[in-house]
Structure 1
């Protein structure tokens, strides 16, 4: 770490796995640049302070019951959190600010997840600069504010389902249909507040995004938001952080991978939020087994509806699974994707997972479930052309065929070659004088100037 610069940055992550990781990654970067770090977090999905001994952690009550935190309705969960955290956050930040003044320590700014929508009046009253961090692809974050208008019009749904959505590329009409099925009034109101919170901030930080991945959307976002935008790229390449996983990874998958041939394994994981039915899990297990390729399948506890874990997979399938595959409850994903044995990634296309796969040059099979995953999958299959889209078909024959196409056939070789070129471009972006490197330098300078 560079010598302390006498400035403190306060971070406020959203308590979801895909939001905590990037925020703590940013904390690691800023600490390496000399900033002291304080993380304010909810008791729900609290990060482990022992994993980050150089940061100060302050926990606030979130007022949610166990039943409320178990909901699969993410919008409802986030709106409840935004309502219940206002007073505890105000009290915590005010005390922190007063304490810093007494000790003559300089608090540079607050950086919070873009989906916290209540912070502006408080930071304004404290005369504290406020930056927002988005864990979405730039294209989705910028484009999703048009959803309320598209929902009102509904005309798009009457047209060809394979057509592009002109107002929200590279989504297709059938993707938009799925997105618009999400809860309406609550979601639209929440999106409007996120947009307002973003436009009144001192800047937007996009983690894992860079010019090489999404240049057109970055240009549009700069025009529309009218605040500085920092696309700092997949900085975990240069700044490896301590684990911030809310789940305990099963490290036995690494020695298992060590025994497999190069580029032979299909890695399958659907992230920390996606849920599937018992029948979908069985189709996936059959398809993987029938492909006759080794596979590492992550089935998160509680991710299969009406099941505890994998007890619903028929014994016949489990026998085949044991012969060719391995099932774990959670995996150390970055380590898995780096492994020489992994030749493909069957993924839900969360943004973190998508970019991690790009960074390691692992081509993807796209099975998006909800929200921004649908757009990320279109980037993979239609824009970058570094993966194959399942188009929502969770059928054993389809999965068997696509695994074999990616790992064994000429089509897979072509996809792999394109992925290698994209990986090299993205990795160059975080090196000295690369686009993400320069953006990070501008961000550090800006925070230092507050």
Structure 2
């Protein structure tokens, strides 16, 4: 026990949604590879679904200093991963989970008092900075630097009268006075919570408050890399005392794993659903760069009309497509309204639909030539690492800012936000796969190379992760002196 207390101990606690848990698990694996003692605290329901559908325990069993622990969010399982009822979730976690976490820390149930807590910045209220024992908090924001900066700027935009947005006619108005985003950001590119009619709306206030709190923590961890978001990171560093940029985490983890390569089905996969690997065999039979991969992530829900417009657009494009159609993707689906013969025939000839796909493997496949995505930050980074140009159809939160930077700043894709009709879908697919392919591929391949270089030894993200690990070790030494 004395030996355990003498070494650094990191407690990690992600927000209970797949897009937050996934990168936190990758970071946990990286820290464990460095030899740190890591305790990963997860909501019960999230942990159970991960065990059911992933190789979670076998992946982490090779780390003798790693432990999983679970805690309740105080809600029934139906709320899992739901961001649509954010206020219900956060109220329950503050009332139930927060005091329980404090009790677990004091009782030693989570092991020795942590050297630091890596806490998801989307619920920074979970740990009081003045509570005893005082444990340094490193805030992990799972969004891009550009979207975090946009969130940070909202109070200033409200004060200046640039927000709230005044209806659809106001959407294309350029946002002024945000450093690093001059002549880039329109109202429609701000995080979706900015579209509410009143600045006092709870969801807008909550997101702004959590962003402000994130900036005040001991350190800010971002899943990005200097070469992609350097100008925005320079702006952020004026407000945040210490920033670690350690992404792309999916590429960073692969670069540090032991030399022997594990079978693809045993590689890191963090999901809530059973993966259908048959799509890989289908891809094997397709020509090089001929398939557009379509996935709107784990949370997005679309209407039946939108679903059919996408389906028509994909078939009308004449291109091959692999489409992830989750069982809960379509709301209000009319089972009695039959599928038109042209859609069935076009899909049979050129398409493949699955309930869930091994996304990183799919994007890395030789047959993939484009990625129609919701622009969640994990998916965006995975597309960048794989060197695949994107068609952006963002729906909420940070996705709207990500898509603008993909299309207008990084020039690695096309932005289709706020539009959903078959002609536009077909045109965008053809532009990415054929008409504008050479133009986009030049930027995409350059960006992919920068991403991979950043996580190699001596690269910007590699060095920042080493700095973070060293700083955690120093925190433990400082506590020993105080003790």
TM-score (norm 2): 0.84
What is the aligned counterpart of 2:145 among 138, 151, 154? 138
- Residue 57 of structure 1 aligns with which residue? 68
**Cα distance between partner residues in 2 of 1:390 and 1:143:** 20
What is the aligned counterpart of 1:321 among 319, 322, 347? 347
- Residue 236 of structure 2 aligns with which residue? 221
- Residue 283 of structure 1 aligns with which residue? 309
State the shift of 1:368 in Å.
Answer: 0.8
- Residue 370 of structure 1 aligns with which residue? 396
Mapping 1:356-435, distance limit 5 Å: 356-409=382-435, 411-435=436-460
Q: Return 373-382 or 47-56, whichever deviates more.
A: 47-56
**Cα distance between partner residues in 2 of 1:99 and 1:422:** 42
State the shift of 1:402 in Å.
Answer: 1.5
- Aligned to 1:233, the other structure's residue is in SS state coil
- Indicate yes or no: 2:121 matched with 1:110: no
Q: CA RMSD in A?
A: 2.5
State the shift of 1:201 in Å.
Answer: 1.8
Q: Return 198-207 or 43-52, whichever deviates more.
A: 43-52
**Cα distance between partner residues in 2 of 1:312 and 1:367:** 26
- Aligned to 1:118, the other structure's residue is in SS state helix
**Cα distance between partner residues in 2 of 1:22 and 1:139:** 18
Mapping 1:132-211, distance limit 5 Å: 132-151=139-158, 153-154=161-162, 157=165, 161-168=171-178, 169=181, 170-176=184-190, 178-182=192-196, 184-207=200-223, 209-211=224-226
State the shift of 1:81 in Å.
Answer: 4.5
- Residue 23 of structure 1 aligns with which residue? 24
On the 8 A contact 1:120/1:197 being kept in 2, the answer is: no
Gaps of 5+ in 1: 102-106
Gaps of 5+ in 2: 255-266, 476-483
State the shift of 1:329 in Å.
Answer: 0.9
Mapping 1:428-443, distance limit 5 Å: 428-443=453-468
Distance change (3 Å), C-alpha of 1:80 and 1:45: farther
Distance change (3 Å), C-alpha of 1:28 and 1:274: same
Q: Deviations over 1:77-129 (max 9, x none)?
A: 5423432311222222222378526xxxxx32111100122233267411222
Q: Deviations over 1:143-190 (max 9, x none)?
A: 203324535635674686434312453321233495423485312432
On the 8 A contact 2:392/2:413 being kept in 1, the answer is: yes
- Indicate yes or no: 2:102 matched with 1:95: no
**Cα distance between partner residues in 1 of 2:285 and 2:130:** 54
Which of the pair has the greater relative contact order for Cα pairs under 8 Å at 6+ separation?
Answer: 2
Distance change (3 Å), C-alpha of 1:100 and 1:123: farther
Mapping 1:333-348, distance limit 5 Å: 333-348=359-374
Distance change (3 Å), C-alpha of 1:14 and 1:176: closer
**Cα distance between partner residues in 2 of 1:154 and 1:164:** 9
